[in-house]
Amino acid sequence: MADKALNRSGQSLDQSLHDHLWGYRDTRFRLNERGVVELTGHRYDMSGTEMPLFWPFVQDILGHEIDPTDLKSPNAAPVVPEPRPCPEFRRAVETVLAKDRVSDNAKVRLNHSHGQTSNWELYQVIYENLERVADLVVWPESTEEAKQLIQLAGQHGVCLVPYGGGTNVSNALLLSPAETRPIVSVDMSRMNRVLSIDETNQTACVQAGITGSELERALRAEGWIVGHEPDSMELSTLGGWISTNASGMKKNRYGNIEQIVEKVTLISPRGEITHHDSAPRRSAGIQPRDLVFGSEGNLGLITEAVVNIHRIPEETRYASYVFPDFPRGVDFMLRLQRSGVVPASVRLVDNLQFRFSQALKPEATGLKAVEQTIQRTALEKLYRFDLRNISAATVVMEGSRSEVSHQARHIKSLAKSFRGVAGGSENGKRGYMLTYAIAYIRDFLAPYYISGETYETSTTWDNIHNVVDSVKQAALDLHAKHNLYGNPFISARITQVYHSGVCIYFTHGFSNRGLENPLEVFIDIEHGIREAILAADGSISHHHGVGKLRQRYLDRVMTSTSRSMLRELKHSADPDNVFGIGNGAFG
């Protein structure tokens, strides 16, 4: 993987995943016997370190003490309905797939029946029960097997649901109780090979079930990378990126997924949707390729794609800058975008997010403690920064040494003109890498009656503060409406910059202690925040997609004629609704 210290100790890593929670079994946050938070395992730079400031920070921000012995008990024996019988289909499938690639095991079916939407899917699967569970799980290994599988599903009246890395956060994998047909989850994880590398044209043909970590590992062995690094990179798949129209943290250099993918193959019940040629660009009328991006499992199985690849950069360098406040940081980001010298990644966090990241640091000792004291004193006394207002930017520069050096000089000079103070490369790298481990925090806090959710949107440069202020106010209002305990945690960060605007990512936390109907409250809060985003002219989503979570808002962002056209397209590709997951406009 491009930048992560995945294995600091040299030990081999356990690649087994949590059944329902985020990530790998060897990694989790926990309170140790001394009451200090630590991250287990050896996977990340922060693994194995104690973070003595984090537990006090959580209690301070949420405005109440948390009893570490009072834990919300998970559902010890989740109810998994018996699979709906489809014996003829299964017998037919087992002539195409080996029997070990077909399963009706209850645990396997449950694991394939949800994504990672915090306060909806996960709450149900951990503390209640899912209403609908997949009836069968299958694992194809080739495009030809996928074709046969789809043909058999049509013949036997079966509903197919594509399953990639299971990291979706828009309820796209949530199965409808109204679906009366047997539901078969098509796990694409065995379609994880790099089929070919074209070094002259710098492209690779890759199966769609490959995860980001598998893809980068395979390509790096040959001296190449793709450069697409979403927060979920370790677990999410190429097919998932395409089906949700994903964005990565280094999109400034390598592009969003629609710029990275040159050719894509989707197998629908009516046949193969692709181009015969592979070209950097074509003017051949309406492009079927473009219809696959954001299709969210509604049209068929994405089986492979041709992606642009790049030589491993000569240098990767990190930097960080602290600004007096969030508005000053936003002004810096705008000027940086306008300058044309934009690094691979640049992200800006507000004050609360900055303090959150500081609370995840290990305790400083010796010279490190002295250094931090000097830095803090300098910010307050020399630069006259209020530590309760400051914001911070993390920067990743990649390319040739001369290119990176030029970017570093330019960014440093530009930051200085906005009163930015250099925070060092170590903090820059740490801020970038933190995103991979931070997802585990949600699952650590959940048993302590703390709910965590994220919301992302995009908006224009002149509307950033309106969106941020609207969402923060909505979080406060919803907290009061439901008489929630303590205070909410609501913070914002800018994760992507564009010519006309940005992506804003919100992190929201609150106590759910004492709620009689927590799921109803979660749903109301989710919709309330999304209403605030749309009312402030934010987009329905920048990169998470629509799924089922945001379906109710499509009429606000898409005309009825547009929706009808999409449904007619769906009927043309899948007249019997074999792919009946019902996401987006097809719900």
**What's the average model confidence in pLDDT over 570-575?**
96
* Residue 217 domain flag: yes
Same domain for 306 and 352: no
Q: What is the pLDDT of residues 262-289, one digit of tens each?
A: 999 999 999 999 988 888 888 989 888 8
Q: Mark which of 294, 311, 328 sits at the end of a domain.
A: 311
- What does the pLDDT read at residue 274? 93
Same domain for 303 and 412: no
**What's the average model confidence in pLDDT over 353-381?**
80
Better pLDDT: 19 or 201: 201
- What does the pLDDT read at residue 197? 98
**What's the average model confidence in pLDDT over 71-93?**
94
CATH number at residue 117: 3.30.43.10
Q: How far apart are CA 432 and CA 190, in angstroms?
A: 30
Q: What is the pLDDT of residues 181-198, one digit of tens each?
A: 999 999 999 999 999 999
Same domain for 336 and 266: no
Q: Mark which of 155, 182, 209 sits at the end of a domain.
A: 182
* Residue 471 domain flag: yes
> How many C-alpha atoms does 523 have within 13 Å on its Cβ side?
11
**What's the average model confidence in pLDDT over 456-469?**
98
Q: Please measure the distance between the N-terminal and C-terminal CA atoms of the chain and give it in whole angstroms.
A: 37
Give Cα 141 distance to the centre of its chain. 25
pLDDT band at 6 (very low <50, low <70, confident <90, very high): very low
Whether residue 3 is predicted with pLDDT greater than 60 in this model: the reply is no
Q: What is the pLDDT of residues 137-153, one digit of tens each?
A: 999 999 999 999 999 99
Do 330 and 464 touch, CB atoms closer than 8 A? yes
Retrieve residue 353's tokens. 């997010």
- What does the pLDDT read at residue 2? 37
Same domain for 137 and 206: no
**What's the average model confidence in pLDDT over 354-383?**
80
Residues 6+ apart with CB under 8 A from 126: 20, 21, 74, 75, 446
- Where is the binding site for FAD, in residues? 231-237, 244-247, 296-302
- Where is the binding site for substrate, in residues? 442
- What does the pLDDT read at residue 373? 72
**What's the average model confidence in pLDDT over 497-515?**
97
* Residue 558 domain flag: no
Whether residue 121 is predicted with pLDDT greater than 50 in this model: the reply is yes
- Where is the binding site, in residues? 231-237, 244-247, 296-302, 442
- What does the pLDDT read at residue 4? 40
Q: What average pLDDT does the chain have?
A: 94
Same domain for 439 and 335: yes
* Residue 149 domain flag: yes
Domain ranges, residue 124: 89-182
Do 123 and 21 touch, CB atoms closer than 8 A? no
Burial class (CB in 10 A: 0-12, 13-18, 19+), 177: exposed
Same domain for 417 and 436: yes
Same domain for 341 and 321: yes
Same domain for 218 and 262: yes
pLDDT band at 371 (very low <50, low <70, confident <90, very high): low
- What does the pLDDT read at residue 5? 37
Q: What is the pLDDT of residues 384-427, one digit of tens each?
A: 898 899 999 999 999 999 999 999 999 999 999 999 999 999 99
Q: How far apart are CA 269 and CA 578, in angstroms?
A: 7
Q: How many helices (H) and strands (E) does the chain have?
A: 19, 21
- Name the domain count of the chain: 3
Residues 6+ apart with CB under 8 A from 533: 455, 457, 467, 470, 471, 539
Q: How far apart are CA 226 and CA 224, in angstroms?
A: 7
pLDDT band at 367 (very low <50, low <70, confident <90, very high): low
Better pLDDT: 70 or 433: 70
**What's the average model confidence in pLDDT over 558-587?**
96
- What does the pLDDT read at residue 187? 98
Whether residue 530 is predicted with pLDDT greater than 90 in this model: the reply is yes
Active-site residue list: 505
Same domain for 481 and 338: yes
- What does the pLDDT read at residue 15? 87
- 68 DSSP assignment: T
**Cα–Cα distances in angstroms (integers) from residue 235 to residues 23, 243, 429, 484, in the given order:** 7, 15, 21, 33
- 119 DSSP assignment: I
pLDDT band at 436 (very low <50, low <70, confident <90, very high): confident
- What does the pLDDT read at residue 172? 97
Same domain for 203 and 175: no
* Residue 36 domain flag: no
Percent of the chain, pLDDT > 90?
85
Same domain for 332 and 288: no
Q: Which amino acid is at 501?
A: G
- What does the pLDDT read at residue 7? 36
Q: How far apart are CA 288 and CA 79, in angstroms?
A: 42
CATH number at residue 216: 3.30.465.10
Q: What is the pLDDT of residues 231-242, one digit of tens each?
A: 999 999 999 999
Q: Mark which of 517, 535, 553 sits at the end of a domain.
A: 535
Retrieve residue 154's tokens. 């049509």
Reported pTM: 0.95
The CA-CA-CA angle for residues 538, 540, 545, to 5°, reads: 140
Whether residue 59 is predicted with pLDDT greater than 80 in this model: the reply is yes
Q: How far apart are CA 410 and CA 335, in angstroms?
A: 11
Retrieve residue 1's tokens. 């993987």
- What does the pLDDT read at residue 1? 36
- What does the pLDDT read at residue 280? 87
* Residue 457 domain flag: yes
Q: How far apart are CA 519 and CA 236, in angstroms?
A: 26
- What does the pLDDT read at residue 459? 98
Same domain for 339 and 476: yes
